[in-house]
Amino acid sequence: MLRIAVPNKGSLSGPAADMLHEAGYQQRRESKELRIVDPVNEVEFFYLRPRDIAIYVSSGRLDIGITGRDLLIDSAASAEEILPLGFARSTFRFASKPGAASSVEDLKGKTVATSYEGIVAGHLADNGVDASVVHLDGAVETAIELGVAEVIADVVETGTSLRNAGLEVFGEPIMKSEAVVIRRKGAEVDEPKVQQFLRRLQGVLVARTYVMMDYDCRVEQLEKAVALTPGLESPTVSPLHNEGWVAVRAMVPAKEAQRIMDDLYDIGARAILTTAIHACRL
Ligand SMILES: Nc1ncnc2c1ncn2[C@@H]1O[C@H](COP(=O)(O)OP(=O)(O)OP(=O)(O)O)[C@@H](O)[C@H]1O
Ligand SMILES: O=P(O)(O)OC[C@H]1O[C@H](OP(=O)(O)OP(=O)(O)O)[C@H](O)[C@@H]1O
Ligand SMILES: [Mg+2]
């Protein structure tokens, strides 16, 4: 049975459970459940603190985990990212009162508050900057107002939390993060059960980002039309009963669907339809 760690709380928890559900896995019914077995798919899910997941996976007791890239790096656990999942996207940045600092070099001799000590200490060392790091569990934006630190390093998504605290980011982003699937370093990646799990999640990612497009066009316009909708491999082209016309079917990125429909219409394609993809295996 494949043993998988899933975030039990926080920003990663809901979207991770949604993705697993979309991939056909049974998920817990109550937020207090710590462990469930999905007998049909032969998977056991362990609901753990997101911060602890890389540690469990690196120990080899669990085969796979879903966590944030920033949490993985911060933990320094012997685990590696094998599939980015596209949700819980954020940037990890320094911030301070306006004008207090403008680059990592300005941090020399200062105190930085963060929940991600591993990332911050590593970044300061890489830049040869000697600064103190104070660990706080959360709500680090308040640390400056209360005099615990001059600078913070934290997760930024919309920037609302920083604005509300009267803070501004400075310097280059320290890292970009999103939810990722992780495995123990050196673990056998081509194990069939693991590969099947990854294919299912990749199927969800594709179903979320692509739509199926169908349209009719005149044979003379086919090359132009196919250039607009090349599909993943190559579009399906079928003859229509009316001579001189073909029906074309191809997957297109959902974000570009409306523009592609306009362009197809302009070259004479008609009956242009898009439909959602519910599941897929590439
Ligand atoms: N506002 C946010 N937007 C996107 N991702 C976020 C946000 N806040 C945290 N994350 C991501 O969630 C992961 C941290 O999860 P964790 O559960 O530890 O913190 P949290 O979501 O802030 O929850 P809490 O602070 O309530 O415990 C990291 O990968 C981080 O990048
Ligand atoms: O840029 P924003 O959209 O404002 O999002 C970023 C904020 O979200 C998270 O905080 P959370 O609400 O999890 O509280 P915490 O700081 O206690 O973890 C993170 O730690 C930032 O504070
Ligand atoms: Mg938080």
CA atoms within 13 A on the CB side of 232: 11
Mutate which of 6, 8, 9, 12 for ligand 1? The one with the most ligand atoms within 8 Å of its CB, which is: 12
In this predicted structure, what is the pLDDT of residue 282? 87
Neighbour tally for 87: CB within 10 Å: 18
The Å distance, Cα 139 to ligand 1 centre, comes to 11
Distance of alpha carbon 98 from the chain centroid: 31
Backbone angles phi, psi at 130, to 5 degrees: -100, 105
- Which residue is associated with the tokens 């809901």? 14
Separation CA 66–CA 146 (nearest Å)? 34
Atom of ligand 1 nearest to the CA of 71: 29
Query: How far is the centre of ligand 3, averaged over its atoms, from the C-alpha of 151 (Å)?
Result: 18
- For residue 191, the SS3 value is coil
Radius of gyration of the chain (CA): 24
Which ligand sits nearest to residue 182's alpha carbon?
A: 1
Residue-wise pLDDT for 119-171, tens only, equals 999 999 999 999 999 999 999 999 999 999 999 999 999 999 999 999 999 99
Q: Using an 8 Å Cβ cutoff, are 280 and 203 in contact?
A: yes
Token pair 């991600």 is at which residue? 116
Question: Which amino acid belongs to residue 104?
Answer: V
3-state secondary structure 83-128: EECCCCCEEEEEEECCCCCCCHHHHCCCEEEECCHHHHHHHHHHCC
Tokens of 68: 């944030």
Structural domains in the chain, sorted by start: 2-88+178-189 (3.40.190.10), 90-176 (3.40.190.10), 211-276 (3.30.70.120)
Torsion of CA 217, 223, 228, 232, to 10 degrees: 100
Return the bridge partners of 177, or none: 90
**How many whole angstroms separate alpha carbon 90 and alpha carbon 34?**
27
Question: Rounded to the nearest whole angstrom, what is the distance from the C-alpha of residue 16 to the centroid of ligand 1?
Answer: 12
Q: Whose CA is nearest to atom 20 of ligand 2?
A: 155
- What ipTM describes this predicted complex? 0.96
| Residue 95: closest CA among 109, 114, 108 | 114
- In the block, residue with structure tokens 């229509």: 240
**What residues in the chain have per-residue pLDDT under 70?**
none
Ligand 2 contact, 159 CB (< 6 A)? yes
The whole-number pLDDT of residue 76 equals 97
pLDDT at 188: 79
Residues 23 and 148: beta-carbon distance below 8 Å = no
Question: What residues have CB less than 8 Å from 216, skipping those under 6 apart?
Answer: 240, 245, 246, 247, 248, 269, 270, 271
Contact (CB, 8 A) for 167 and 145: no
- Which ligand gives the minimal distance to the CA of 9? 1
